[in-house]
Structure 1
């Protein structure tokens, strides 16, 4: 006797077969609209980087952040510590985190960090060996500073004569604007700050040669402030930062 599958059953089998396939290391395994493989190789797990992209990364599932709040205050997120390295050793990416780096000259593959490592100081781009690790949650860009949360704070906007807003790190969450991902690109938006492009950033050296990070309030690569370079900054989820 010949048995015919219904169309719905056939589709279910096809979808189930795709979901059961194993994705490659560092391959996409989930996200809104994703219909490809959702399983990762042995010793790897599917880690959510944003609503549209999850990736096969080494290790177990993403640790769950602990969030506490006081009435009238922004939530505070406590993150588990990242992997501890010896001084001068290249950092290893912890599950659920991303490095963030620029991809254009003159700051090609310079990585986001604190000017003074793991402390509340200026946000700067530096060498791979000093790369910090990040999550974006609840509109906050959160740096894991050896188990302590540092939050990206954008300088207050005071008027149309400003061309850029400096970014610093604080132990207290930001109360204005919101960070988000667009694919792997870092965005910042505040409805009270006029800005043509949410993905436009500037890197401007300070008096000591540190590459300070700024929100660019102008269009990308147009009327760039003297001494600064236009940049976009992106998540990088390789196991170690590369040059």
Structure 2
């Protein structure tokens, strides 16, 4: 009799339909979403925009906004970024991490030298990775809810073969960024370059990996102390080493 009761209870449990839970980084809501909405233990269904909510570590969902698709101006970045296990920010919809993929800067990620401020563009550790969009030729960093724009210094004369990249609160007035596949390129009608995807990473006196546009040939006549580099979009949930 005990065995029969157990089987009946198990059958009732199966019939009631136990809902699955959404794992970390899984979608749990948004306009038109029809899937599971309950996050796994320790996770919160966090709204990133009207169309996408994601299960993240935390205790309260942060507010965020993004511009409508097709907007002619750079979208407003989320007002905050969520931190995932391991320290890196969780990638917001519509954004990309940008990283190097060869030594000596393998999987070093683009950011501001002083995090989320208008400072020099550098490559750093995955836990320090910023998030980006390319919109209307502007490379836009989500600086914790404030847009920062990549600007390339002017070329003083034809002997200058590398141009430093930095972040500004105002859009760049010359040159244009674009993703070709996942590779970041920069071009300027007044400057002829062998390769628009050629970059240099040159450590400064403090050991920061400063980013430069390489105006010379890739992997030839590389300036002393610098490394030739291409940098690529990465759209994993978090920045990885």
Same fold by TM (over 0.5)? yes
Q: How does 1:1-243 map to 2 (within 5 A)?
A: 42=35, 59=52, 63-64=66-67, 78-85=76-83, 89-243=87-241
Task: Point out the structure with max Rg over C-alpha.
Answer: 2
Is the contact between residue 81 and residue 145 of structure 1 (CA under 8 Å) also seen in structure 2?
A: no
Structure-2 change in CA distance of 1:66 and 1:154 (3 Å) = farther
Q: What TM-score do the two structures reach when normalised by structure 1?
A: 0.70
**1:86: Cα distance to partner?**
8.2
Runs of 5+ consecutive residues of structure 1 not aligned to the other structure: 1-39, 44-57, 70-74
Match of 1:15 in 2: none
Q: Please give the alpha-carbon distance, in whole angstroms, between the structure 2 residues aligned to 1:180 and 1:158.
A: 24
Is the contact between residue 135 and residue 141 of structure 1 (CA under 8 Å) also seen in structure 2?
A: yes
**1:76: Cα distance to partner?**
6.5
Is the contact between residue 65 and residue 79 of structure 1 (CA under 8 Å) also seen in structure 2?
A: no
Structure-2 change in CA distance of 1:222 and 1:96 (3 Å) = same
Q: What TM-score do the two structures reach when normalised by structure 2?
A: 0.70
**1:110: Cα distance to partner?**
0.1
Large movers: runs of 4+ above 4 Å: 40-43, 65-69
Matched residue count: 185
Structure-2 change in CA distance of 1:113 and 1:87 (3 Å) = farther
Partner SS state of residue 63, structure 1 = coil
RMSD: 2.9
Q: Please give the alpha-carbon distance, in whole angstroms, between the structure 1 residues aligned to 2:231 and 2:132.
A: 13
Q: Please give the alpha-carbon distance, in whole angstroms, between the structure 2 residues aligned to 1:137 and 1:153.
A: 14
